[in-house]
Amino acid sequence: MPSEKYKKGLAKFREVYPNVPVADGAEQDAWMKTMFENAFASIWARDGLSVRELRLVVLGITSALGIEEVFEIQCRNAVQRGELTPDQVMELLLFLPQYIGFPRTAGLRARMQKVFPEAMARAEPD
C-alpha cells in the first residue's frame, strides 16, 4: 500500500505533468517511489516557488544539458497548464542561445518547430 508521502508526490506529479501517464504499480518501483516521495512530495510541493517558476528553472537546466525530450515535455505541460504560451516558449529559444550556445539549442528549436509551428513562424524575424 502506498505511503501518504507517495500519494502526495503522485498527486503533485499529476498536477505538474498532466500529459505524462504513470504506470500501474509504480509504487512498487523503488526509483519511481523515490522520485514521487522526494522530488514531488518534498520539493515540487513546497510553497517557496510556484510550479511555473520551478518549471522555468527545469527548462534552463534541461536546455543547458541538451536533454531535448524533457525540454519538450516541460514545454508541452507548461502550455497545457497555462504557465507559458507557445509564443513565450519561442522567446525562450531566442534567449537561451545567448547563454548556452546556438549548437546546444538547435535541437530544442527543431523540436519546438514541430510542436508549436504557428508560434515559431511568428517568432521569425521579417
pLDDT band, very low/low/confident/very high, at 118 (cuts 50, 70, 90):
confident
Task: Report the pLDDT averaged over residues 110-125.
Answer: 82
d(CA 102, CA 34): 35
Question: The C-alpha cell of 20 is what?
Answer: 505524462
Q: Are 73 and 63 in contact (CB under 8 A)?
A: no
Residues 68-102: tens digit of each pLDDT: 999 999 999 999 999 999 999 999 999 999 999 99
d(CA 54, CA 52): 5
Residues 24-75: tens digit of each pLDDT: 888 888 999 999 999 999 999 999 999 999 999 999 999 999 999 999 999 9
